[in-house]
Structure 1
Amino acid sequence: MRHTHLAGALALAAMSAMAAGAAAQETVVRIGHSGPLSGAQAFSGKDNENGARLAVEELNAKPVTIGGKKLRFELVSEDDQGDPKAGVNVAQKLADGGVRYVVGPYNSGVAIPASRVYANAGVVVASVASNPKLTQQGYKNLFRVNASDTQLGSRMALYAAKELKIKTVAVIDDRTAFGQGLAEEFKRAARAAGMTVAGHEYTTDKAVDFTSILTKLRPKNVEAIFFGGYAPQGGPMARQIRQLGIKAKLLGGDTICTAEMGKLGGDAVGANVLCSQGGALLDKAASGPGFKAKFKKRFNAEPDVYAASYYDAVHLFAQAMQQTSSVEPAKVGAAISAGSYQGVAGTYAFDAKGDMKASPVTIYTFKGGQPSALTSY
């Protein structure tokens, strides 16, 4: 009887040794994701997370090896609720947990304060948050993988002036770091392009009723209203513009360039709504259709605004790890700063601040509730 126990124990020991050997041949790289996974913007947070998840799964299937060891990527996704305080807590949690690579935060208001925590912990961050202040803080290893508000707001203004021949506009912003920054950039570029800014009103990113500010703008007879804010407000705003009989077009940035805008705004969201989004057209990008097909197959949904950018960001990290034969954040960050990565949504090459050297902007309108690209501008 004792012999069988011994044989069993030996077999177990051998299996443990094999498992330990396999583990020794593997380096785990945890990729953090911080985004709004609950609340009104959860659709964006989940879409972004799915983009990162698809990349992680692909890298693990490849697999990637460094120094004879296989890298096993793990996605650690946290809900920052689109809230600055929660976002700083998430950053601290990820940093304390040893996560050294992060995609997100999505919201500028979250990314700006959270970036200090990440910088202090030596974390490499790739964010789509577009407020120019994010990269003006001087943090190393912080990369904006998207156009900034300067590009999104100013290109929308140029398109409105040159292509739509709009002369008078009004501006509404939601007072978030993102909305305010975007609205100011639009206003500056609109005036430079010869447009009159006839009014600037303020709301919040929790509001649903915009009748009082729209009623204030109505007698100004503006041809367009630019909204610095997100789709959960943009959709109802489009409905209320129509209900009040205001003929103005509704313009905005990337955060209203989403199917959610059509869902919330119904038939009040059509050719009357225009928005600017960073990146070239996915359909026109060489690997765009392939990415869309993979994403659809895996998640049974179309990728929304930034899924491709998050997917690219994870691959950007992995390419730099291979180039440096290291998972050390300082080495990997330096390689990203100095190098270039050809992704689905664009070519990622960064200036000294961590902004993309070239980020095309695409102007969209809506057809059948879905964003429909007009032109890259």
Structure 2
Amino acid sequence: MNFNQLGISDDIVKVLKNNGITEPTPVQAESISVIKAGSDVIVESQTGTGKTLAFLLPIFENISPKVDAVQALILTPTRELALQITEEALKLKQAKDINILAAYGGKDVGSQLKKLKTGIHLIIATPGRLLDHLERKSIDLSKLKTFVLDEADQMLLMGFKNEVEAIIKETSKKHQTLCFSATLNSDVKKLAYRYTKEPSIVTINKEEVTLEAIKQQVVETTDRRKQDALCKVLDEDNPYMAIIFCRTKRRADDLEVALHKRGYDCEKLHSDILQSKRERIMKAFKKGDFQYLIATDVASRGLDISGVSHIYNYDIPESVESYIHRIGRTGRAGEEGYTCLFIDPKDSFKLEEIEKAIKFKIQRRELGE
């Protein structure tokens, strides 16, 4: 199965090829033609499976540059994700010149308002900023053809349910709804089924997607010795580029200070950092300007960075889903990945939960003296 067979035009296929994408991933193969045909779709698929292109490609095919109206809206919970999707959309713009607006907090409203006067075809937005525009009447969604709710589980987790409902009320009655989520729990299903009509369901097996190419290990330590254990592992592995996950912003701040003192080349990324600075940090990391990115879970959503070979879970994640999301930043596109989880004795219950969900006992890594 190739992109042409899914109904993607030659110009777009050429852009994909130039970016090293030649074959559709399972989620793309199963959903592109259904979306292109205009059906409502509910997709359960992990981050890192290629779902952004699964909705962007058919949207680009279906948008008419001649129609001066907002034809597609992608709603996403975090700025990072909005930025990531915008980057992908701007690449596809080389094949089809449509006007794109990224509307998220931390970006200057004035420049967004100015851009809206030029006639926008596709909007990629976070809920708060989009509602702001709808209240100002600077965005009109009455001619909307396609509405994408991306990371629906995260949207609910972050408390955006009311905002999502307020936004949907402003859209045209006859639009296509695409709901993408890493997990389809009962709350997500309720939301998805309320806004879709006879949807097609696409489910991509999560183990197959995220875990096969990733070697997982656990280091048993104590919170007091964790920093030393991490540094020992970093020295032994010396990865080209790696992400270190912390549970809270405070933990990320403290770890960055400690690692800098020990001479490690690192930067931190969390929601208290100004958006413009976050964008600069991400750009520098993607270019390989520094070796270690210290991040919180909120910052991890939508981090699609090729070249990340190692993920270190300095703190155990809050949930199994979060663990899979974190480690899914590595082992991408056929490359092998490595992930190491540092646990304190009090984390053993959470570790058992993770092992139960992924159906195997994670190998223990012994650290030499």
| TM-score normalised to structure 1 length | 0.30
Higher strand share: 1
Rg bigger for which structure? 1
Between structures 1 and 2, the one with greater helix share: 1
Provide the TM-score with structure 2 as the length reference.
0.30
